[in-house]
Structure 1
Amino acid sequence: MQTRPRVDSRLLWGALTAILLIAALSVSFLISYRGALNERERAQSVQIASRVQALESVLMRQRAVATVLSDDSTIREGLLNPDPDHRRAISQKLDRLRAETDSAVIYLLDRAGVAVAASNWNEARSFVGQDYSFRDYFTEALLRGEATQFALGTISHRAGLYLSHDVIAADRTPLGVIVVKVEFDHLEASWRQANALTYVADAAGQIILSSDPALRFGTPPLPRRATVSTQAMVPGADWRMVVTEPAAPAFYAAALTTGSVGFGLTLLGVAAGFRLRARRQAARRAEEERRYRADLELAVDERTRALSDEMRERRETEARLHQLQADMVQANKLAALGQITAGVAHEVNQPLATIRLLAETGSTLLPVGQSPEVAENLSTIMRMTERITRITQQLRGFARKATGHVGPVELAPALDAALMLTATRRETQGIALDLPVLPPGLCVMAETVRLEQVLVNLLQNAQEALSDTPAPRIWLTLEAGDLVRLTVSDNGPGLSPEVEAQLFMPFATTKPQGLGLGLVISQEIARDFGGSLRAAPQVAGQGATFILELPRAA
Structure 2
Amino acid sequence: MAQGGLKVVLRLGSPAGLSRRTRRILIAAGVLALFAVVLFETYHVSFQRGKARLSDEASATAQGRAMTLSSELAKQRAVALILADDRDVIEGLSAPTPVRTDLMSRKFEDLRAQTGSSVIYAVDTTGLALAASNWRDEDSFIGSNYGFRFYFTGAMTTGEAWEYALGNVSLRPGLYLSRRVEANGQPVGAIIVKVEFVEIEASWRGADVDTVAVDPGGRVTLTSTPDWRFLPEPDFGPDRLVVSRPVGGSDWRLDMAVPLAPVRQEALGMTLIAALLALPLGLIAALWRQRLHRQHLRRAAEARYRNDLEQEVAARTRDLSEEIGERKAAERRLAAMQARLVQANKLAALGQITAGVAHEVNQPLATIRLLAENGEAMMPDPKAAPEVRENLGLIVQMTDRIARITSELRGFSRKARGEREPVPLIEAWEASLLLSASRRAEDRVPIRAPRIPPGLLVIGEKVRLEQVMVNLIQNAHEALAGTAQPEIRVTLSHGRRETDGAQVVTLTIADNGPGLSAEVAQNLFTPFLTTKREGTGLGLVISQGIMRDFGGRLWADPPAPGQGARFHLELLVAV
TM-score (norm 2): 0.53
Residue of structure 1 in register with 2:3 after alignment: none
Residue of structure 1 in register with 2:58 after alignment: 44
Alignment pair present for 1:196 and 2:220: no
CA shift in 2, pair 1:504/1:411, >3 Å: farther
- 1:412 aligned residue (436, 446, 450): 436
Distance in 2 of aligned mates of 1:443 and 1:262? 92
Distance in 2 of aligned mates of 1:454 and 1:474? 27
Equivalent residues of 1:412, 1:442 under 8 A apart? no
CA shift in 2, pair 1:441/1:91, >3 Å: closer
- 1:245 aligned residue (258, 274, 289): 258
Displacement, 1:524? 4.2
Tell me the secondary structure at the aligned position of residue 135 of structure 2: coil
Q: Give the letter for the 1:529 counterpart.
A: T
* CA offset digits 1:285-304 (Å, max 9, x no partner): xxxxxxxxxxxxxxxxxxxx
* CA offset digits 1:362-391 (Å, max 9, x no partner): xxxxxxxxxxxxxxxxxxxxxxxxxxxxxx
* CA offset digits 1:75-95 (Å, max 9, x no partner): 111113322122112101101
Q: How does 1:50-449 map to 2 (within 5 A)?
A: 50-170=64-184, 172-265=185-278, 269=282, 412-413=436-437, 416=440
Equivalent residues of 2:80, 2:177 under 8 A apart? yes
Q: Give the letter for the 1:242 counterpart.
A: D
Residue of structure 2 in register with 1:523 after alignment: 530
Equivalent residues of 1:115, 1:130 under 8 A apart? yes
Q: Give the letter for the 1:106 counterpart.
A: I
Tell me the secondary structure at the aligned position of residue 124 of structure 1: coil
CA shift in 2, pair 1:411/1:523, >3 Å: farther
Distance in 2 of aligned mates of 1:158 and 1:213? 12
Q: Give the letter for the 2:536 counterpart.
A: F
Residue of structure 1 in register with 2:367 after alignment: none
Q: Give the letter for the 1:136 counterpart.
A: F
Distance in 2 of aligned mates of 1:93 and 1:242? 37
Distance in 1 of aligned mates of 2:255 and 2:534? 50
Unaligned runs of 5+ in 1: 278-409, 428-433, 458-462, 476-487, 493-501, 510-515, 549-554
Residue of structure 1 in register with 2:48 after alignment: 34
Displacement, 1:412? 2.7
Residue of structure 1 in register with 2:501 after alignment: none
RMSD: 5.1
Distance in 2 of aligned mates of 1:123 and 1:194? 37
Distance in 1 of aligned mates of 2:161 and 2:479? 45
Tell me the secondary structure at the aligned position of residue 128 of structure 1: coil
Distance in 2 of aligned mates of 1:39 and 1:30? 14
Q: Give the letter for the 1:173 counterpart.
A: Q
Distance in 2 of aligned mates of 1:442 and 1:543? 13
Q: How many aligned residue pairs are there? A: 364
Displacement, 1:257? 2.4
Distance in 2 of aligned mates of 1:48 and 1:72? 36
Equivalent residues of 1:142, 1:174 under 8 A apart? yes
Equivalent residues of 1:489, 1:543 under 8 A apart? no
Distance in 1 of aligned mates of 2:171 and 2:480? 52
Q: How does 1:1-40 map to 2 (within 5 A)?
A: 5-7=19-21, 16-40=30-54
Tell me the secondary structure at the aligned position of residue 7 of structure 1: helix
Equivalent residues of 1:226, 1:246 under 8 A apart? yes
Q: In terms of mean alpha carbon deviation, does 35-44 or 3-12 score higher?
A: 3-12
CA shift in 2, pair 1:261/1:442, >3 Å: same
Displacement, 1:106? 0.4
* CA offset digits 1:217-273 (Å, max 9, x no partner): 1111134122211112212211111111221111012122233344454689479x9
Displacement, 1:139? 1.3
Q: Give the letter for the 1:531 counterpart.
A: L
- Sequence identity of aligned pairs in percent? 30
Equivalent residues of 1:166, 1:174 under 8 A apart? yes
CA shift in 2, pair 1:140/1:526, >3 Å: farther
Tell me the secondary structure at the aligned position of residue 157 of structure 1: coil
Equivalent residues of 1:118, 1:127 under 8 A apart? yes
Equivalent residues of 1:450, 1:525 under 8 A apart? no
Tell me the secondary structure at the aligned position of residue 523 of structure 1: coil
Distance in 1 of aligned mates of 2:525 and 2:187? 43
CA shift in 2, pair 1:415/1:265, >3 Å: farther
CA shift in 2, pair 1:532/1:6, >3 Å: farther
Q: Give the letter for the 2:538 counterpart.
A: G
CA shift in 2, pair 1:520/1:144, >3 Å: closer
Tell me the secondary structure at the aligned position of residue 258 of structure 2: strand
* CA offset digits 1:291-332 (Å, max 9, x no partner): xxxxxxxxxxxxxxxxxxxxxxxxxxxxxxxxxxxxxxxxxx
Displacement, 1:213? 0.7
Tell me the secondary structure at the aligned position of residue 525 of structure 1: coil
CA shift in 2, pair 1:419/1:255, >3 Å: farther
Distance in 1 of aligned mates of 2:528 and 2:205? 52
Displacement, 1:26? 1.4
TM-score (norm 1): 0.55
Displacement, 1:437? 6.2
Tell me the secondary structure at the aligned position of residue 143 of structure 2: coil
